[in-house]
Amino acid sequence: MARATATPSPGILPPDEHADLEDFVGYNLKRAYVIVDADFRRALGEDGLAPRVFSALSLIVHTPGITQSDLARRLGIERSGLVAIADELEARGFVMRKPVPGDRRVQALMPSAAGKAAYLEALETVRAHEASLLASLSSDEVETLVALLKKIRRIGE
Chain length of the chain: 157
The only residue of 48, 64, 96, 97 in contact with DNA, by rule CB under 7 A: 97
Q: How far is the CB of 134 from DNA (least distance, A)?
A: 20
Q: Does 103 bind DNA (CB under 7 A)?
A: yes
Q: How far apart, in whole angstroms, are the C-alpha atoms of residue 91 and residue 7?
A: 59
* Residues 17-76 interacting with DNA (rule: CB under 7 A): 30, 34, 50-52, 67-70, 76
What DSSP state is assigned to residue 21? Answer: G
* CB of 109 closer than 8 Å to CB of 95: yes
Binding status of residue 145 toward DNA by CB under 7 A? no
Q: Give percent helix, percent strand, percent coil of the chain, each to the nearest 5.
A: 60, 5, 30
Taking CB under 8 A as the rule, does residue 150 contact its own copies? yes
Residue selected from 48, 58, 65, 107 as contacting DNA according to rule CB under 7 A: 107
Helix (H, G, I), strand (E, B) or coil at 151: helix
In eight-state DSSP terms, residue 106 is -
Among 140, 149, 138, which Cα is nearest to 28's? 149
Beta strand spans in 73-115 (E): 95-99, 107-111
Q: Which of 5, 21, 45, 104 binds its own copies (CB under 8 A)?
A: 21
**Under the rule (CB under 7 A), what is the footprint of DNA?**
30, 34, 50-52, 67-70, 76-84, 86-87, 97, 102-107
Please give the residue ranges that form the binding site for its own copies (CB under 8 A): 3, 7, 9, 12-14, 19-40, 51, 55, 58-59, 61-62, 64, 76, 113, 116-117, 120, 123, 126-127, 130, 133-134, 136-137, 141-142, 144-146, 148-156
